A and B are shown apart, each in its own frame.
Chain A
Amino acid sequence: MRKRLICSMASALSLLACSGNVLAQADAIDHAKAAAEFDKFRAEMEDNNPSELSELKGEELWKTKRGPKNVSLAESCDMGLGIGKLEGAYVKMPRYFADADAVMDAERRIVWCMVEKQGFNFDEIAKKPFAKDSFTPDATNLVTYVAGHSRNMKIAVPLDDPKVKKAWGIGKAMTAYRAGPYDFSCNTCHGSDGKRIRMQNLPNISTAAGAMTGVQGWPAYRMTGGVQLTHQWRMIDCFRQQRFPAPKYTSDAVAYLLTYMIGNANGQVYKGPGIKR
């Protein structure tokens, strides 16, 4: 089963590599048609989702005793529903954790567990937080594994918790904050319906439908660059294009923005890790 999965991954990836080259010749291409083709590939890929490779790796990482404390996350990490319990955990995050006294999204919590329970060094993890070329961080694979356990479940960020509600409010205020050389806020691009940058559609994350469009994509295998990426990555990289400086990896800043965006998507079904252009 595993071998067959990997073989079909390889053929899927070569197909993706092919389409990447075609799309690089931007001038000669009908972009609207290309976008439609992507969506077709994406639908066809559902059964052979490259994210599944990441999930498999994440499963290994979750269940293996690792780190200076030689402990597995499965036996030590509480993602909000009890130690080791993962069914439905991802869709109920971000949430407040008393042991950390912080509102934490899934990636933040996983990294916290790696540091506090397994004894890994945060600064080492934060040096290379996201996938690049052939390197995929452990946290990325773990987030994908955890997210897979919320497949086809409804987003349910606990906004009735006052600490989570406050995080949501701060996140909302952050999205309205214009600054920097181009005077951009998150809302400049993500605060209205029906907008796009070039051919990239922009979800309106202040609405339920738009927020879900944004949330649905993560974590994902991103065809551009051929890497596995997370929602944490996306929130940080947006600030690059916003011409802002960068939020620290797994900081409150990112957690509050994720609380706002994912909270706005409450009630809608999360289909699990996927693929993005």
Chain B
Amino acid sequence: MNHKIIAAALATPILLAALPAAAEEDYRAEAIAVFHKDFVARGQASLDRLAEDGVHAICNHTGNKPPADISKVLEADQMAAVKYPADGKLMGDWKAGEKLAQSGRGFTWSDQPGLPVGGNCYNCHQISPKEQAYGTIGPSLLQFGKLRGNSAEMQKYVYSKIFNAKAYNLCSEMPRFGRVEAISPSQIKDLVALLLDPESPVNK
């Protein structure tokens, strides 16, 4: 693990202490106690999932509105841990990306560990204009590449965002798919292509 992340994790209690107390702090401790008292491991969902990491702690303490100086430090840490493909190529196959985006499987107690994990993308986003069953928790990604181009810089942004959305917005609702190894660098490349390839239906 990157030593910068360890340093940040150790610094978190100090950072937390510097935050103003929020009104809902009153029941936060009781809530955490209830989680630990009343939850049981099930399937692959082990009890360690109840523990907050540094990002959870800051976001939970601040109602997902962390102070800017704290955000910058922790966002940089998230960015530093993004893993890129060995050959440096960030665009893969948009057709494989669309298949991956359609699947919502993985990480639940009813999912067999070791089976392929989906990108979960359509649960939250509109992506291809051909798919009407899309969620609205995240913004629409229609015409994503058409509007922004597919320069090396844009590819890096999209790849990094999918790998770890918190690198750009510390308390983003979007999961850190690459960091938890839900999907691999090679799979993320396919999602980059889904969004940026001019041939992808997203950009037609």
Contact = CB atoms under 8 A, between A and B. Distances in A.
State yes or no: do A and B come from one complex: yes
Interface of A: 26, 30-32, 166, 169-170, 172-174, 176-185, 188-189, 194-199, 202, 239-241, 243-248, 251-254, 256
Nearest to B64: A178
B21 to A, nearest CB: 14
Contacts of A185: 60
Given A188-B173, A198-B134, A245-B47, A173 B107 contact: no
B24 A176 contact: yes
A114 B120 CA distance: 41
B132 A32 contact: yes
Interface stretch (B26-34, B82-90, B92-100): B26-34
- Shortest beta-carbon contacts, A-B, top 3: A173-B31, A253-B38, A182-B175
6 contacts: A173-B28, A181-B49, A181-B180, A198-B123, A240-B45, A241-B108
B176 A183 contact: yes
Contact of B26 (A169, A179, A198): A169
A166 B47 CA distance: 25
Interface of B: 24, 26-28, 30-32, 34-35, 37-42, 45-47, 49-52, 55-56, 59-60, 63-64, 107-110, 122-124, 132-137, 166, 173, 175-176, 180, 182
A47 to B, nearest CB: 31
A179 B40 contact: no
A260 B41 CA distance: 24
Contacts of A182: 107, 175, 180, 182
B39 A244 contact: yes
Contacts of A180: 45, 49-50
Nearest to B108: A240
B124 to A, nearest CB: 7
Contact of B34 (A170, A172, A241): A170
Given A243-B49, A252-B38, A176 B63 contact: yes
Contacts, number: 132
B137 A189 contact: yes
A51 B123 CA distance: 30
A170 B50 contact: no
A184 B120 CA distance: 13
Contacts of A241: 108
B179 to A, nearest CB: 9
Contacts of B109: 240, 245-246
A183 B176 CA distance: 8
B159 to A, nearest CB: 19
Given A181-B107, A244-B45, A199 B133 contact: yes
B52 to A, nearest CB: 6
Given A26-B133, A32-B132, A245 B39 contact: yes
B37 A244 contact: no
A172 B38 contact: no
B51 A179 contact: yes
Given A196-B135, A198-B122, A198-B133, A246 B40 contact: yes
Nearest to A248: B38
B74 to A, nearest CB: 13
A246 B39 contact: yes
B24 A247 contact: no
Contacts of B180: 181-182
A122 B54 CA distance: 39
A245 B34 contact: no
Contacts of A243: 45, 49, 107-108
A253 B39 contact: yes
A178 B123 CA distance: 18
B9 to A, nearest CB: 15
Contacts of B27: 166, 169-170, 172-173
A182 B41 CA distance: 17
